[in-house]
Amino acid sequence: MQITSSFDGGNIECIQLESEKDIQLKVRKDSQSEFFQWFYFRLTGAYRKDCRLRILNAGQCSYPEGFEDYRAVASYDLETWFRVPASFDGEVLTIEYTPQLDAIYFAYFAPYSMNRHAHLISSCLVSTRVEYENLGHTLDGQDMDYLRVGKPVKGKKQCWVMARQHPGETMAEWWMEGFLEKLLDENDPVSRKLLEHCVFHVVPNMNPDGSRRGNLRTNASGANLNREWMEPSLEHSPEVYVVREKMRQTGVDFCLDVHGDEALPYNFISGSYGVPCWSEELEHQLDVFLESLCAANPDFQTEKGYTKDKPGAANLQIAKNYVAQHFQCLSMTLEMPFKDTTATPDPVFGWSPARCKHLASAVIDSIARVLPFL
């Protein structure tokens, strides 16, 4: 048997591999950071062996509650990711599975590779609706890909959508894939009508370096990008720096930042309630958006989520709050689960790439609904 993770997005340390009954592993920390939780590795040579894989430092991970009532994901072909049994005793995460082929991959959530990201960008550029710009480079020298969707005509609303500031939250880029597919579908009447009134500014992956390195939350320098928005720098957080500069060029009327939550088994929106500029008008816009999204997709709900910030108490280092305050606009974070949705569970796949993409489609419908109020 062998355990490997020396590939795009891989993360694991193999401690012991003497017996399939006691495969001992540890999650590696993020680059120059104390964050860790994302795992992704390949097991070979275990065909039809009853394997017991133990992640020994799960209890010391950044969000140990994320392993409670959790099932890992596995795949033979890197396309179909299904859930496998896992248990957590507060210290060790144990995955028990009998592989039916000679090679199998395990991960925290369905990975989204930089190769797939490159394919996503290339496929979008075929559309006449899209203009591409490389906003700059990451610390590892990767491109910061930006897509403008729609003709920049005066009077149109400027809608920003970005994903994967936290690289281990791969559901965010699966969501983005679905979002772009619907937005660029010339036969989709909602997208067609929406683009008559809006220009979309899309950053499908805010953190390419963290994605490739197999990090949970940080970039190559150890920066948590969603705490860098007040004072980003080219030396420490160039990803935020170049995107923020582009926002200042275009203006922002609507912003959605797409994430995943380790612990909460729900899809929900975190609004910018605590920013100094919060108003009845912004609250009405948010209410319209939430009501529409609930109606459009039963996987979304509004009863569970984060505690609202008190007036004036919002952390402006966070993207949704910085954008809301600086541009006086509706700005939100969408959170999706690593686990499954409690009210609408899927016993085979859990919360999955396909369901992420369906939720993205519903978000476009909801943007169309709130557009007259922006």
Fill in the DSSP letter of residue 113: -
End-to-end CA distance of the chain: 57
The one catalytic residue in 177, 239, 262, 335 is 335
Cα separation, 72 vs 83, whole angstroms: 6
* Contact indicator for 28, 11 with CB cutoff of 8 Å: yes
Q: Are strands 157-163 and 198-203 parallel, antiparallel or unpaired?
A: parallel
Q: Which helix (H) or strand (E) holds 260?
A: strand 254-261
**Of 301, 297, 273, 276, whose CA–CA distance to 285 is shortest?**
273
235 among known catalytic residues: no
Return the residue matching tokens 């489609």.
Answer: 361
With both helix axes pointing from N to C terminus, report the angle between 280-296 and 353-370 in degrees, rounded to the nearest 10.
130
Tokens, residue 282 = 């912004």
Residues present in the chain in total: 374
Torsion angle, alpha carbons of 227, 228, 229, 231, to 10: 140
Contact 195, 369 (CB under 8 A): no
State the CB neighbour count (10 A cutoff) for residue 51: 21
The DSSP symbol for 19 reads -
- Is 177:163 a contact under the CB 8 Å cutoff? no
Name the residue among 191, 109, 129 with its Cα closest to residue 367: 191
Q: Which ranges in 223-318 belong to alpha helices (H)?
A: 238-250, 280-296
In degrees to the nearest 10, what's the CA dihedral of 256, 261, 267, 272? -40
| Residues acting as catalytic residues | 335
